[in-house]
Amino acid sequence: MKTFGFHSEARAEFQEAAFYYESQQEGLGRRFVDAVWEAAQKVIDRPLLYREIEPGIRQCRVPRFPFGVIYRLKEETIEILAVMHLRRKPGYWKSRKKRH
C-alpha cells in the first residue's frame, strides 16, 4: 500500500478551506476535512482509477464539496499537489509539479 503526503502549498490551502467552512457553519469545517480524507483514502486504495488531467497528474473529486484532490504517483508515495476548488482558477497548482 502506498503512503501519501501533501505538497506544502496543498496542505496550506486544505487548512485554509477547512477554516473557511468552519467559519461559515460550526462543524462544516470538520465535515470538509473528513471528505478530503475520504478522497485521499480512495486514491490510496485505487490510485490509477481517477481521471488523468495531465500526463502523470490525476484528480479525485471530494465528496459533497466542490473540491478535487490533485495528485501524482511517485516511487513509493502519492503526492497531493492541490486540494483545489473546482470552480476557481484552474491550473494555478501547475508550478508545484516541478520535482525538487
- Cell 484528480 locates to 59
Q: What is the pLDDT of residue 3?
A: 84
Mean pLDDT, contiguous 10-residue spans, the chain (100 residues): 85 95 97 97 94 94 95 91 84 61
CATH number listed for the domain at residues 3-87: 3.30.2310.20
73 pairs with which residues across the strands? 78
Q: Quick one: CA dihedral 53, 59, 61, 67, positive or negative?
A: negative
Cell 473546482 found at: 86
Q: Which sequence spans correspond to the domains of the chain?
A: 3-87
